[in-house]
Structure 1
Amino acid sequence: MTQHAQPVDALIVVDVQSAFVTGEGAVPAAARLVDRTTDLIARARRDGALVVHLQNDGPPGAEDEPHTPGWELHHAVEPGPRELVIRKPRDDGFHATSLGEVLTGAGVRAVAVCGVMSEMCVQATARTALERGYRVVVPHDAHATQDCPAVPGVSEVVPAATVSRVAAYALGSDAEVTVPASAVTFAAPAPS
């Protein structure tokens, strides 16, 4: 397998929360997503990259309402200077959070973005990272979403895999969206 030529120095794990990867509300590709994100996290830790877990704070009554079982992160976090959790109120992980300051403070120049939902929080976070000048990798097999429901007179159900692929490609040619998770390499951020 050919390794990705340029390592990334941060992994952003978007909303891999119990509500989205377990039980009846899980995305169709939950098992694959958990497998890929588990591997990415382990390799990022091993190679000294920054690991940021984004955790969505859903509204009251939502499956990801704070402090409910569905809100809990699926992956165990190893808190420390190279791994942290940032709670977010909106799709974009940069909006009203410390993510931008954390990445800048750590000297990050390139990020890999994975998680759920492809067309919402993953895409919004990746798009802002691009706008802020980061090199952005969105491994094609490490983000997922739900099927897009049918709309009479408009379209049949759009399968989740198609929604995910279109969401990534909508980021444009500046994002790297065809690399598999297994080809993403990591390195520690270089001090500024």
Structure 2
Amino acid sequence: MSQLQTMLQLSGRGYAPAMLGAATLLIIDAQEEYRSGVLALPGLAPAMAEIARLLSAARAQNRPIVFVRHLGAPGSFLDPQTRRGHFLPELAPLPNELIVEKRLPNAFAGTELNDTLIALGHLDLIVCGFMTHSSVSTTVRAAKDYGYRCTLVDTACATRDIPLNEGGTLSADQLHRMEMAALADNFAMVVPNAQAVM
């Protein structure tokens, strides 16, 4: 039996994972909600450590970085007027770094993200952040429509447990693994960790 291949491999449209020295780092929704809010993620701490490695390396190499911030509804999760909507202090942008604010999971929807990325001049994006199955997934999928090549850093993303329609729970780890496999099939090159793009 032949080895199973992704759609990217079968179509011949695959590409080599990007390296940080020739790409834009896109950090999605690294916000306090995911540590202390109702959407607290079980795998947050190790993912934050990996994002911090990417961020430190990008800054050291003077690479472009774009931070995405979700603006939630007042009184709800990711409320921009409360601490839960603020960036995690360990992963917060510096005063001169770019921020794109969004109100939908897809960071391209109704925002200036595409114009910002065009101005930076890189088709290759290194993507990380929260949550794997929501804002990360929808943004990576949309990026393909805009012609970007995404490299997704597995251990620099995390998600949460979700309820199953038939009852029970799909664990954060299962959901993360499933979403990474789906994105690797047709939307992104997935690398295991931050070191893989250094």
TM range (shorter): 0.7 to 0.9
Equivalent residue for 1:165? 177
> Which runs of no fewer than 5 residues in structure 1 stay unpaired?
186-192
* Structure 1 residue ranges, 4+ long, deviating more than 3 angstroms after superposition: 22-25
Q: CA deviation at 1:148?
A: 1.5
| Cα pair 1:12 1:53 within 8 Å, conserved | yes
Q: CA deviation at 1:47?
A: 1.5
Length-normalised TM-score, structure 1: 0.85
Q: CA deviation at 1:24?
A: 6.2
Length-normalised TM-score, structure 2: 0.83
2:162 counterpart SS class = coil
Equivalent residue for 2:3? none
Q: CA deviation at 1:104?
A: 0.3
The answer to whether 1:148 aligns with 2:162 is yes
What are the residue-to-residue correspondences of 1:98-109 with 2, within 5 Å? 98-109=112-123
Equivalent residue for 2:130? 116
More helix per residue: 2
Equivalent residue for 2:101? 87
Between the aligned partners of 2:188 and 2:164, the Cα distance in structure 1 is 29
> Which runs of no fewer than 5 residues in structure 2 stay unpaired?
1-15
Q: Percentage identity across aligned positions?
A: 29
Provide the alpha-carbon RMSD of the alignment.
1.8
Matched residues, number: 178
| Cα pair 1:111 1:136 within 8 Å, conserved | yes
Between the aligned partners of 2:153 and 2:74, the Cα distance in structure 1 is 32
What are the residue-to-residue correspondences of 1:1-192 with 2, within 5 Å? 6-8=18-20, 9-22=23-36, 25-74=39-88, 75-80=91-96, 83-151=97-165, 154=166, 156-171=168-183, 172-185=185-198
AA aligned to 1:105 is: A
